[in-house]
Structure 1
């Protein structure tokens, strides 16, 4: 595989440019615990990496808040049905698909009355007024950044989980890629632009942010694996052969759908930031992904740039 095959690279952020195992993943667990305790008086099990990876493998949970919502519904139902929660949540995961929350809610409502918890959780379509979104954002961003982004005081005083982001991206890698691709470097991520700028800082300036998509700032219907924003980025950069670098099934599905619409996109899977890299590698290999790398630092070698 040669560098000439591609004329642009588009990156996902979480799990690719940034290791989020101590930031977003921890926020999922803490939000789930807080919401279940406050809204239903339930002590939650730990939402660990196996549960998170299980939901994400379905292809419908690129958004961490969606995943948290699904976990809350699952554990509420387990409590109401007197089921062992750590076993029941995997039963729910086995019934999840690329429709995400819809598949989980449909399955749970077929066996349990969720009306009470649903009335308290409200709709995720209204981010600024949804109680689960509010708790998640406050815990993730912390008091200072939360107030800057949303103009509201946080009920929590501790430092935001975003401070635990571990940035993998380096200036040296960006400079190597820029020599080959110029400004045809972009990002299509579930994050908002202020969130990614907080972690990447000046490194964000190496990317064509006008062609990029920051899905937290976009309508929910554009969430991955919807390929619309990826296609928009490809066409904005006038790319004919794009390499999309991601770490999830949603990323892979989005890249395949972009290709199917006449926007050739090769998917490159990053597995090294997963808490179970071999399981992630196996998942992608069984799905037919040819380019599977430990880290974005391996990209120059694979593309014969070094």
Structure 2
């Protein structure tokens, strides 16, 4: 791969710069269990990596709380229909498409009236007043960071799952990339800026945050795979040939749409943080992705920077 082909590099965060299998993924399961118990008196099955990957492979679940909703609604419906939850949830997954939670809700509404339960869960479009978002954020951020971000007191006292983030990014990698790309190193991620800064700390100084996008802080309609924020970043940095590094189908779809809109963008897939890297590799390969790497630490070698 000719390193001169690219004049900028933009990263996703979760699963790319940070391994989230013990943080975000565990929060998904914990939130599902809590909400189903508190709101519907239902004991949940474990929302494991197969279920998470199943929903995410559709390309419509960049927002983890959307996935929580999908799992909660699926398991609630399974309970009401006396279906085996561990089987029914995969039936839902097989009827999910890139519209994400909308496709899940549409499928479930075609077989059972979930409107009453949905009214308890509230609207996903209102993050700050939605009970499921609130519970997820309290579990993920922990009381101190939750209070700082939302100016509210958490009703839970345990340490936030964000403390389980495993940072993959290193200063040495950033310095290598900086020599090649200068200031054209950015982030387009589903996280908010304070959340990513909490985990990456001073390494955030290497990124062009002004021309990055932190989608948790943006309007919901800009969520991946909408390419608008990636295109905005590319244009703001005046990039002619961008390398976008992600780990999910929505990342690939976003980069592909940006390229189709006339903004030269190549997608690089990271698979090593997946709980099943070979399945993830096959998913990307079957979708036509040519650059598939185990880790971001392989980027300098692939781009002939070392």
Asked if TM exceeds 0.5, the reply is yes
Q: How does 1:240-279 map to 2 (within 5 A)?
A: 240-279=240-279
Distance 2:258 2:123 in 1: 29
Structure 2 CA distance, aligned partners of 1:201 and 1:188? 17
Aligned match of 2:200: 200
Mean CA deviation greater in 113-122 or 185-194: 113-122
The residue that corresponds to 1:215 in the other structure is: 215
| 1:24 and 2:24 matched | yes
Paired residue for 1:51? 51
Alignment of structure 1 residues 62-211 onto 2, 5 Å: 62-211=62-211
Distance 1:122 1:62 in 2: 19
Tell me, in whole angstroms, the C-alpha distance in 2 between the residues paired with 1:69 and 1:273: 24
Cα offset, 1:44, TM superposition: 0.2
The answer to whether residue 294 in structure 2 is matched with residue 294 in structure 1 is: yes
1:188 Cα offset (Å): 0.1
Give the Å deviation of 1:62. 1.1
- For residue 113 of structure 1, report the CA deviation from its aligned partner: 1.0
Structure 1 unaligned spans of 5+: none
What does the per-residue CA deviation read over 1:29-58, in whole Å, with 9 as the maximum and x for residues that have no partner? 000000000000000000000000000000
- How far did 1:64 drift? 0.5
Deviation at 1:71, TM superposition (A): 0.4
Q: Which residue matches 1:233? A: 233
Give the TM-score normalised by the residue count of structure 2: 1.00
Matches of 2:290 and 2:194 in 1, distance apart? Answer: 33
Matched residue of 1:128: which SS?
Answer: helix
Report Cα offsets for 1:94-147 as digits up to 9, x if no partner: 000000010000000000110221010010111110000000000000000000
SS at match of 2:267: strand
Output the aligned Cα RMSD.
0.4
Normalising by the residue count of structure 1, what TM-score does the alignment of the two structures yield? 1.00
> Deviation digits for residues 56-80 of structure 1, max 9, x if unmatched?
0001001101000110000000000
Secondary structure, in 3 states, of the residue corresponding to 2:209?
A: coil
**Partner of 2:9: helix, strand, or coil?**
strand
Unaligned 5+ residue runs, structure 2? none
Shift of 1:231: 0.1
- CA distance in 2 between counterparts of 1:121 and 1:264 reads 41
Aligned counterparts of 1:124 and 1:106: Cα–Cα separation in 2: 15
Equivalent in the alignment of 1:12 = 12
4+ long deviations beyond 4 Å: none
